[in-house]
Structure 1
Amino acid sequence: MTEETTTKEVTPEEYATAFKGKESEALKQALDIRKFEIELYWKRATYFWTFIGATMAGFLAVQSSSAQNKQDLAVILSCLGMVFSFAWVCVNRGSKFWQENWEKHVDVLEDKVTGPLYKIVMSRNTMRKFSEKAVHLVTGPSSISVSKINQIISLYVFCLWLCLLGYSLPEFSLESSVNWFYVVLLSLSVASCILFLWLGRSYGGGYFHTAKLRKSRVKNG
């Protein structure tokens, strides 16, 4: 049995028809998956922080050592840190995409179930006195996106590794011989980053499903 699935734009009317009578269950599922995506987001952040932190510790240890292959090790660690940090940038953006996907479902589905609870944002009254504004500036809340801050940090770490890579490489000179080890290492690192953007995207096209039914029976004695 083969089933062909195609991708097409869904109109507001088609969206409403698809979930008609099932808004409550759909909203519950969207909220649960959104919560799951947020949990995964921070688990992934911990994963990348562990590897990037270990790589940074290794880089600093190499810089303070007197090893003969100090420069080679520094370049290797810089490339490793660059690839991991760029992967972190891409993973952050991907996680944010799917988190927002479920948030948009909640936005549309909640009206008929709970009302616009998720869409209405409650905030403090406007501060009028200078003292109140000063206290609010220091200890008050602010509409800052935690995930966007994390994305900016990951981008900063990636740029930092680029700087460390430039610092670790030998001074460029047309008269110097080509260090093919560095060329191959840099090419692999850049190619990996390009593959993240090219092949790492979620597939949005159609699928052809294949199903097989396994038969089982008790053998006659």
Structure 2
Amino acid sequence: MPPRTYAEIMFEEGTTTGQGLTLEGKNRAKEAYQKAHDVRKFEIDLYWKRALYFWAFEGAFLTAYGIILAKGTDVDGQFYYLAVLSLFALCFTYLWSLALKGSKQWQENWELHIDFLEECFSGNLYKTVLYRKEKKGNFYSVSRINERITYLFMLIWSTTFVGSLLKELVPHEEWVWGMVLLLAPVYLVATLLWIWDPYSLRTNLTGWIQPLSDDIECIYREANANTVIAPVETSSE
């Protein structure tokens, strides 16, 4: 199959700027544009509902850890239970991070559809980003910040898992705890610097920068609707 453009794949004709589309094709493009908006809003709603769902579980894990830790020696094998709980929480948090990435990926899918389709119906609204010059176009990504929060929780749970396991297996080996106290600060500082790197938390906005007034600029993100999309080779095995 030869490479085809976005419009040819979607409508089998013309371009998404309206050129070369029949009346039926334009009606289909308009319906696709409206559906892309609706599903995008639906995906954003699901994104935050999933985040709240996982936050509830993280709260439950933290509460359970605190209760077991507070009971002290009244619980036989206290640190064994804490290690098991930390491991479950670590695995759950990893799945949380994957769920957020998957949800964001589907949201971006519909946003890209809007980028291609909007020129024909509402102009370049989504592709034109306005900002005040003093902000210097520094937009922080809420989804990336959420993702880094999951990394922070993974750091916390991995630390409590290793600490609880060592406390259970070698409670009186002073050299082990000496190594832990020596390496833990380096590990924590390096990880936190990576998690909270402000540059990596910014939204990637690339395009033409155009001043509109003395204090306002815009970034125009061009979406080339005529970009050729090559067919994907699939294995016959």
TM-score by length of 2: 0.60
Q: Which amino acid aligns with 1:12?
A: Y
Secondary structure in 2 matching 1:65: helix
Q: 1:109 to 1:13 in 2, by over 3 A?
A: closer
2:78 matched to 1:84?
no
SS at match of 2:87: helix
Match for residue 33 of structure 1 among 39, 46, 50: 39
| Partner residue in 2 for 1:121 | 129
Q: Which residue of 2 aligns with 1:23?
A: 29
Give aligned-pair identity as a percent. 35
The CA deviation at 1:116 is 0.7
Alignment of 1:28-107 (within 5 A): 28-66=34-72, 67-107=75-115
Cα gap change, 1:9 to 1:60, in 2 (>3 Å):
farther
Which range moved further: 102-111 or 21-30? 21-30
Task: State whether residues 118 and 124 of structure 2, in contact with CA within 8 Å, keep that contact through their aligned partners in structure 1.
Answer: yes
Indicate how the Cα distance of structure 1 residues 43 and 9 shifts in structure 2: closer, same or farther if over 3 A, else same: farther
**Counterpart among 148, 160, 174 of residue 152 in structure 1:** 148
Structure (1 or 2) with the greater strand fraction: 2
Q: In structure 1, what is the equivalent of residue 163 of structure 2?
A: 167
Over the residues paired in the alignment, what is the CA RMSD in angstroms?
2.9
Kindly indicate whether the alpha-carbon contact (under 8 Å) linking 2:40 and 2:111 is maintained by their aligned counterparts in 1.
Answer: yes
Partner secondary structure for residue 51 of structure 1: helix
8 A Cα contact 1:78 1:161, kept in partner: yes
Give the direction of change, closer, same or farther, for the CA distance of 1:150–1:10 in structure 2 (3 Å limit): farther
Aligned residues: 158
Distance 2:127 2:152 in 1: 32
Q: Does 2:22 match 1:14?
A: no
Q: CA deviation at 1:10?
A: 5.3
Q: What are structure 1's unaligned runs of at least 5 residues?
A: 1-7, 128-135, 174-203, 207-221
> In 2, distance between residues paired with 1:10 and 1:56?
52
Q: Deviation of residue 13 (structure 1)?
A: 4.7
- One-letter code aligned to 1:17: F
In 2 relative to 1, CA 9–52 (structure 1 residues): closer, same or farther, beyond 3 Å? farther
Alpha-carbon distance between aligned partners in 2 of 1:101 and 1:86, rounded to the nearest angstrom: 23
- On the 8 A contact 1:23/1:113 being kept in 2, the answer is no
Read off the aligned partner of 1:113 and give its amino acid letter: F
Q: Which runs of 4+ in 1 moved over 6 A?
A: none
Higher RCO (CA < 8 A, seq sep 6+): 1
Q: Is the 8 A contact 1:75 1:169 kept in 2?
A: yes
In the alignment, residue 35 of structure 2 is paired with which amino acid? Q
Given that 1:55 and 1:81 are in contact with CA atoms closer than 8 Å, whether structure 2 keeps it comes out as: yes
Deviation at 1:69, TM superposition (A): 2.6
Q: Give the distance between the partners of 1:10 and 1:40, measured in 2 at CA.
A: 32
Distance 2:3 2:146 in 1: 32
